[in-house]
């Protein structure tokens, strides 16, 4: 009898998404719950994006522009790059998968920092690659250790900056040295899903290295800073050679029409971005003070979330917080058995989180 499933698929573990509010309330009969588990924008979507969606609802019977021309044109103007070097996807997740699908051959190695976004490994294993985990240093991506781990079999390196779930970030000088010393045939994917939240002036985008390292891919998302997680839209920058190869592999209508017009409008919504950044920084300052008061250890962050060590352990804290109507993210699936991750919410949500956390650990 033929084997039904590819062997590499048998080893895959499904990605554990954050629990939806509706599911929690249905299971436990809790109402008025809050979700701080998925690093979403607590202000909701960009108002300009919502208007663009409403104005384009009558076009839903048409297939979307397969090239996302107007969105890529808008991105090109914002970032000062030719349209040919810009690609968009059904979330940054799709672009990550496309990297593996396009470039990874069976048995080739991919280096992934420890405790990173789980889908890196999932996509590597799904295309018969070999995922090699490189330990962090003080909860930060260790570029020197990654460089030392490169072998003749290394094809791709994935790097989160800022890193999820620790919130730590690497600097311009560190990236520059790493790329300079790396073999020229290794693809580097710099995932910058949270780069807009970084406040350290030493933390910069990988965009400035695109011309000096042709195999660099820089990825971003509209899910966080623009509040468009439900529309699933990511984008990326790379050389013409890279984008041409990935466009050969992607589906022809991978980004829906409403996502395209929403994203193009959101790029103009500077007021919303400013409000989001102010809310995030004020929320982090509050959480730092309260966690210090509670005597809990946390990792100062360059993103919109915090990694917190809890005396009850990740899973027990998560379960008890659910019964308080507060959805957080347990980090045991990331190999951090005693940590939770919580994103900044509205002021009243941050306060409710602290009160619930204090009650369960008292």
The pTM of the whole model exceeds 0.85: yes
**Separation of alpha carbons 280 and 336, rounded Å:** 24
What is the full per-residue pLDDT of the chain (362 aa) written as tens digits? 667 666 666 666 665 666 677 776 677 677 778 999 999 999 999 999 999 999 999 999 999 999 999 999 999 999 999 999 999 999 999 999 999 999 999 999 999 999 988 888 888 888 889 999 999 999 999 999 999 999 999 999 999 999 999 999 999 999 999 999 999 999 999 999 999 999 999 998 999 999 999 999 999 999 999 999 999 999 999 999 999 999 999 999 999 999 999 999 999 999 999 999 999 999 999 999 999 999 999 999 999 999 999 999 999 999 999 999 999 999 998 889 999 999 999 999 999 999 999 999 98
pLDDT of residue 350: 98
For tokens 């659910």, name the residue: 322
**Separation of alpha carbons 233 and 256, rounded Å:** 9
Contacts of 26 (CB under 8 A, 6+ apart): none
**Separation of alpha carbons 69 and 271, rounded Å:** 25
β-pairing verdict for 34-35 and 326-327: parallel
For 9-33, the pLDDT digits (tens) are 666 666 566 667 777 667 767 777 8
Contacts of 288 (CB under 8 A, 6+ apart): 298, 300
Contacts of 210 (CB under 8 A, 6+ apart): 81, 85, 216, 218, 237, 238, 239
β-pairing verdict for 86-89 and 234-237: antiparallel
* Structural domains of the chain ordered from first start: 16-45+270-361 (3.90.1150.10), 48-266 (3.40.640.10)
Convert 127-176 into a string of H (helix), E (strand) and C (coil).
CCCEEEEECCECCECCHHHHHHHCCCCEEEEEEECCCCCCCCCCCHHHHH
For 128-177, the pLDDT digits (tens) are 899 999 999 999 999 999 999 999 999 999 999 999 999 999 999 999 99
């Amino acid at each position: 009898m033929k084997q039904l499933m590819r062997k590499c698929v048998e080893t895959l573990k499904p990605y554990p998404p954050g629990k939806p509010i509706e599911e929690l309330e249905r299971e436990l009969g809790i109402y008025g719950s809050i979700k701080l588990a998925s690093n979403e924008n607590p202000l909701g979507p960009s108002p300009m994006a919502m208007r663009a969606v409403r104005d384009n609802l009558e076009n839903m019977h048409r297939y979307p522009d397969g090239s996302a021309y107007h969105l890529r044109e808008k991105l090109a103007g914002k970032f000062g790059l030719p349209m040919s070097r810009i690609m968009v996807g059904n979330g940054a997740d799709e672009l990550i998968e496309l990297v593996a699908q396009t470039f990874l051959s069976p048995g080739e190695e991919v280096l992934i920092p420890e405790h990173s976004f789980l889908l890196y490994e999932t996509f590597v294993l799904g295309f018969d690659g070999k995922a090699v985990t490189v330990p962090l240093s003080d909860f930060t991506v260790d570029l020197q250790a990654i460089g030392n781990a490169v072998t003749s079999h290394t094809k791709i390196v994935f790097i989160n900056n800022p890193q999820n779930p620790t919130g730590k970030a690497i600097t311009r000088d560190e990236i520059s040295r790493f790329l300079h010393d790396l073999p020229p045939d290794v693809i580097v994917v710099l995932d910058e899903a949270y780069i807009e939240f970084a406040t350290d002036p030493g933390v910069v985008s990988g965009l400035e290295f695109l011309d000096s390292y042709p195999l660099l891919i820089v990825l971003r998302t509209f899910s966080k800073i623009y509040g468009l997680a439900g529309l699933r839209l990511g984008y990326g920058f790379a050389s013409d050679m890279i984008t041409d190869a990935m466009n050969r592999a992607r589906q022809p209508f991978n980004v829906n029409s409403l996502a395209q017009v929403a994203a193009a409008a959101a790029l103009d919504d500077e007021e919303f971005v400013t409000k989001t950044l102010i809310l995030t920084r004020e929320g982090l300052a509050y959480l730092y003070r309260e966690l210090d008061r509670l005597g809990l250890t946390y990792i100062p962050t360059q993103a919109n979330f915090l990694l917190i060590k809890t005396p009850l352990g990740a899973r027990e804290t998560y379960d008890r917080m659910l019964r308080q109507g507060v959805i957080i993210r347990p980090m045991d699936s990331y190999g951090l058995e005693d940590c939770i991750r919580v994103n900044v919410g509205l002021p009243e949500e941050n306060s409710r989180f602290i009160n619930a956390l204090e009650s369960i650990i008292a």
